[in-house]
Amino acid sequence: MADHAQVALIGAAQLAESAAALEPQSPAPAERWSLALRITFRFCAAYFTLFSLSNQILTRLFIIPKLNIPELSGLWPLRQITFWTASHVFHITRELVYTGSGSGDKTFDWVLDFCLLVIAAVITLVWSILDRRRENYVTFYKWFRLTIRLALASEMFLYGLIKIIPNQMPFPSLTRLLVPYGTFSPMAVLWSSVGASRSYEIFTGCAETLGGILLLTPRTSTLGALVCLADMIQVFALNMTYDVPVKLFSFHLILFSLFLLAPDGRRLINFFFTDRTTPPSRQAPLFRSSRANRVAVILQVAFGLYLIGMGVYTGIQRWNSFGNGHPKSLLYGIWNVEQMSVDGKVQPPLLTDQSRWRRVIFDFPAFASFQRPDDSFQTYSASISDPDKTLTLTKATDKNWKAGFTFTRPAPDQLTLDGSMDGHKIQMQMKLIERDKFTLVNRGFHWINEYPFQR
């Protein structure tokens, strides 16, 4: 009898649960963001969007071989707005360089960023007035966070992969090996020192690429943002201390990392600095369906692999064209001028005349550099014909200028140039300086050092 009663009670409980499940559920109360949080998010959304559209972030998200997507900062209306602001607000009268310089800290860039801040503030004000009744931006935030994750990941892949395939800081060229250290700019010191240690450059590239990889999936995005933050703080510090003109951009990548970490700020403080329990992440998934979220993760990873693949592709091309894997000149090497005659007169070895050459350097096939006694250089475009044994030099700045020589190599380490330059008959007898004799080239790595080798 007791068994029958127990079965009846279980059945009644199950029926009650089923009935409760069929009853309409009251919706969960909407999450309410504070006014300060809503305004901050509106500003971040406006400013980060404007900044990303105005520079290389947009182009790095859509990499297509042989297709150059222009940065919007150089187009209408941003360019005109920036020029007007520079002239009327900051009273800058000189013509602004806005493209093609290779610097990210141009006057144009700083004025542009000021304009973006003002525009973002106006958008935030109007947005806050028109949308003042909204309690939160949970859905918008999910998708905007995804966009920032991918944008930051694309930049980490860019800077990471050009270090893993060491193109950003290549090993010092033949000309760089001859430049006196005291004439280096701070940026040249950084580039040459990092380039001289490929293992360190590859290591830093792996750290940056790792941050980008971790950003591709929601579960690892917080760790990825932490790695990116550490990477970019180091990069920003180097840019500031070695005067590298990417200060403005690297600072913004720090801001991107902090934006991704902001929702987990309290959890990170609890984890690193207190003994409190760290609650699970409150980051909402993109979709309600588990299947849709799995598909979204797969697409994010696929997009990341696409960015990595394109980065590797362009990196290999750059390595073979401009990096240390580039084709070598037919006369490759550093050649000491042992004897030089001008119009048949032998020049004294210590002559300091600027027409006197101390060394001739052949590195890239299309260029030749001549070093003067004062260690300055003159670089020419070069065309070398092996069958005719001729060397033709031209200047990019003077289309009418041309110099021509015939060359002979009595021995592998000897070279003679005979021809004309600047209206004078020139003959030079030169001897090869072996590249491997430079300490920077041949020193290598040693586990054991009885004494420091600092020379």
- Encode pLDDT of 383-433 as tens digits: 999 999 999 999 988 989 999 999 999 999 999 999 999 889 999 999 999
Return the pLDDT at 280. 86
Least confident range of 14-23, 178-187, 390-399, 414-423: 14-23
Q: Is the pLDDT of residue 130 over 80?
A: yes
Terminal-residue alpha carbon distance, the chain = 98
- Band of the pLDDT at 240, cuts 50, 70, 90? very high
Buried residues in 182-207 as b, exposed as e (16+ CB within 10 A)? eeeeeeeebbbbbbbeeeebeebbeb
For the cut 50, the answer to whether the pLDDT of residue 137 exceeds it is: yes
The predicted-structure confidence for 76-121, as pLDDT tens digits, reads as follows: 999 999 999 999 999 999 999 998 898 999 999 999 999 999 999 9
Whole-number Cα distances in Å, 25 to 16, 20, 22, 28, 289: 15, 9, 9, 9, 19
Sign of the alpha-carbon dihedral angle for 199, 205, 210, 216: negative
pTM for this model (two decimals): 0.89
Q: Are 416 and 429 in contact (CB under 8 A)?
A: yes
Identify the band that residue 8 occupies on the pLDDT scale cut at 50, 70 and 90: very low
- Local structure of 388: helix, strand or coil: coil
Q: Could you give the count of Cα atoms lying within 13 Å of 309 in the half-sphere of its Cβ?
A: 9
For the chain, list the domains and their CATH numbers: 35-321 (no CATH), 333-437 (2.40.128.280)
| Selected residue with higher pLDDT from 201 and 27 | 201
Q: Measuring CA to CA, which residue among 332, 334, 331, 341 is closest to residue 420?
A: 341
Q: Give me the chain's average pLDDT, please.
A: 91
- The CA distance from 63 to 69, in Å, is 9
- Contact (Cβ atoms closer than 8 angstroms) between residue 298 and residue 217: no
Cβ contacts of 61 within 8 Å, gap of 6 or more: 150, 151, 154
